[in-house]
Amino acid sequence: MSALLPTALATSGLLGGYQTARATKNRQLGGAVLAAAGAAAFMGWKKSAGTGTAVALTLTYVAAFGASHPLAKKMGAWPAVYTVTAATAVASLAFGRSKN
């Protein structure tokens, strides 16, 4: 169960950060949601899979956020956010659990 929590946090951060920024028209508030969820996901990944994996998955999370912007120009905002969120969730599920 503990490996699922960081995945849920990362998913919530990407979707919730975008939705918050869009709904409030305040990009900084959306960024705060993204950052808080990312920090919490990092802690969960660290606990379940170790520091190195947590760093790698957090970099994946940040890269997904960055990739959503140019991707949105090609496919639209929500499809881009869904795409990068799905990719991040798959990475989290594949690598975010301990190898015990």
Mean pLDDT by 10 residues, the chain (100 residues): 87 98 98 98 96 97 97 97 98 84
Length of the chain: 100
HSE toward the beta carbon, residue 96, CA cutoff 13 A:
28
Query: What is the domain partition of the chain in residue ranges?
Result: 4-95
Position 99 scores a pLDDT of: 62
State the DSSP code for 96: S
d(CA 35, CA 49): 20
Position 80 scores a pLDDT of: 98
Position 98 scores a pLDDT of: 75
d(CA 67, CA 2): 27
Position 94 scores a pLDDT of: 94
pTM of the model: 0.93
